Amino acid sequence: MNKIVFSVAALAMVAAIGAPLQIADRLQVMWDDHVVDVGRTTASRVVHQPEYVGVAMKHDKPWEGDGCDYHCIVPDRDDKGEFLRMYYLGWAMAKGWKDVKKQFSADSVRVCYAESRDGGISWNKPSLGLVDFRGSKDNNCILDKDSFNSCWDNFMVFKDDNPACPPDQRYKGIGARGGLACFLSADGINFRRGWVLTKDGLFDSLNVAFWDKTRNEYHLYLRGLHKVEAERNGDLEIRDVRHCVSKDFKTWTKPELLNFGAGAEDYPLYTNVVEPYYREPSMFVGFPSRYVDRKKWTPNFVRLPSLEKRKWRASHNRRFGLAITDCVFMFSRDGQNFFREDDAFMRPGPENPDNWVYGDCYPARTLVKIPSPVGGDDELALFTFDRHWSGLASNLNRYRIRQDGFISRKGSYAGQTVVTKPLVFSGSEMLVNFSTSARGRMFITIREECGRGIRSVELFGDKVDRPVDFATSLKVADFAGKPVTIEFELSDANLYSFRFRNTK
């Protein structure tokens, strides 16, 4: 019986179109169909949403308010150890609730700074003495409207790990000023003016830049706009995300519209927060906010929270009352072509007095690996703000999600399979990121073209990097460097990713 099964599998593998995927020891995720043989896979794709943990920081200072946004986290190290820097805009929504000026300054936007020494659980706002606010420099602001005569509609910072980067340019900020310009710093606090990166774009978003160590180049993701015939809500112009690259951070390619593939719906995207994924830096992940502007006031808006505040905002500008936002997940293997999951990664959530507004679900840039609050493997922390337009202090909220856990393949109790395309790996041990119920289980079979294969023992549990044990005298290393397919049999189980490593 096994010989017959192996023969059928071998014929299916030989019939597969194209050369085997060369995966080496790189992480293989279940986010798209890149490694999955769709015709032989029966397990369903499941989009996972992050779980709310709690408030990480309140923006309750007079120079902050209900407009604080565009948070950018920069992992760093000093003589005290590892820590996190955070840059964000401190401001109040001048067209928000009418009482905002009683507590917060709505006169301009300031760039603020905070630090965390516990992985983002708590944040400190140091008094930096750099910016005057109402006669005092006792605040955590690093830039304001008098800094370089700029209006800080956005500001993003990254630590430049390019080995050729001069020490006095190690921290680079980007912000809109006569185009999209850069600002340079040796310490991450005191910035000086640099040069214009590009004038090709609109920029009123959290534009991001970073050094890509796998390709030895810089990437820049910025906001653009293009015309359409009409999208689902009647928009004739679409906010979009564009991408360009540079070898020296000075000369950039022309920004190109991201490619989401044939048939992808063209809808408005605002922020992008693209970053290399720390578990596999050759892949980029992003969490763009999705801008939804319904053009007409309908009875449903009366049912949404805080009707009086919504009407107040709409009286200043229709879209301030009618536009709402959520967030989707996307990722890329080359920086230009992205897979985007249209089912929301973050929704505005259960209705409360301060949500379902234009400003919900804007994630901070940079995922942070953090110990799980319930034990087990480390997780990823994701931060967003709330209370936009409310007249109240905005909160920075922390969410948690499993490593690699944005999308999985799920097998029901009855059982389904995931089968890979032909691939070639390197290494002597297989690791799998999976989760089962107590009665659930998973089996893994690695099989060559000729039909020779190895099948795992029954696997059950919940682990990010579980070494896989095989019930055979053959070893994983015996199949390294050869075209194989891998079959995952799932019963009440989720598969998130797998990879190989060399244990010698």
Stretch 67-94: mean pLDDT:
96
Stretch 407-422: mean pLDDT:
98
Domains, the chain, in order of start with CATH, read 2-46+407-501 (2.60.120), 54-401 (2.115.10.20)
Whether the predicted pLDDT of 14 surpasses 50: no
User: Taking Cα atoms as reference points, which of 219, 237, 218 lies closest to residue 227?
Assistant: 237
Q: Is the pTM of this model over 0.85?
A: yes
355-374 per-position pLDDT tens digit: 999 999 999 999 999 998 88
pLDDT tier for residue 98 given thresholds of 50, 70 and 90? confident
Count of CA atoms in the C-beta half-sphere (13 A) of 104: 30
Please provide the average confidence, as pLDDT, over all residues in the chain: 94
End-to-end CA distance of the chain: 35
Contact 295, 233 (CB under 8 A): yes
pLDDT for the residue 17: 52
How many helices and strands, by DSSP H and E, does the chain display?
A: 4, 31
Whether the predicted pLDDT of 470 surpasses 60: yes
Considering only residues 176 and 56, tell me which one the structure prediction assigns the higher pLDDT: 56
Q: Phi/psi of residue 101, each to 5°? A: -70, -10
Q: Which two tokens stand for residue 490?
A: 């799932």
446-455 per-position pLDDT tens digit: 999 899 999 9
Q: Which letter does DSSP use for residue 470 in this model?
A: B
Per the listing, tokens 């969410």 go with 399
Can you tell me the distance from the alpha carbon of 499 to that of 398, in angstroms, rounded to the nearest whole number? Answer: 29
CA distances from 74 to 88, 172, 218 (A): 11, 11, 16
pLDDT for the residue 171: 98
Q: What percent of the chain has pLDDT over 90?
A: 88
pLDDT for the residue 105: 86
Can you tell me the distance from the alpha carbon of 384 to that of 360, in angstroms, rounded to the nearest whole number? Answer: 8
Instruction: Say how many C-beta atoms besides its own lie within 10 A of residue 214's C-beta.
Output: 11
User: Taking Cα atoms as reference points, which of 306, 313, 389, 391 lies closest to residue 103?
Assistant: 391
Beta strand pairing status for 379-385 and 44-47? unpaired
102-131 per-position pLDDT tens digit: 789 878 899 999 999 999 999 999 999 999
Can you tell me the distance from the alpha carbon of 15 to that of 442, in angstroms, rounded to the nearest whole number? Answer: 26
Q: Which letter does DSSP use for residue 13 in this model?
A: H
Stretch 245-265: mean pLDDT:
97
User: Taking Cα atoms as reference points, which of 263, 316, 270 lies closest to residue 293?
Assistant: 270
Cite the beta strand spans of 268-367 per DSSP E. Answer: 275-277, 280-286, 289-293, 323-332, 338-346
146-171 per-position pLDDT tens digit: 998 777 889 999 999 999 999 999 99
CB within 8 Å of 356: residues ≥ 6 apart: 304, 305, 324, 348
Contact 120, 398 (CB under 8 A): yes
Can you tell me the distance from the alpha carbon of 121 to that of 223, in angstroms, rounded to the nearest whole number? Answer: 31
213-236 per-position pLDDT tens digit: 999 999 999 999 999 998 888 888
Contact 191, 142 (CB under 8 A): yes
The per-residue DSSP string of 302-317 comes to: HHSS-HHHHHHHHHH-
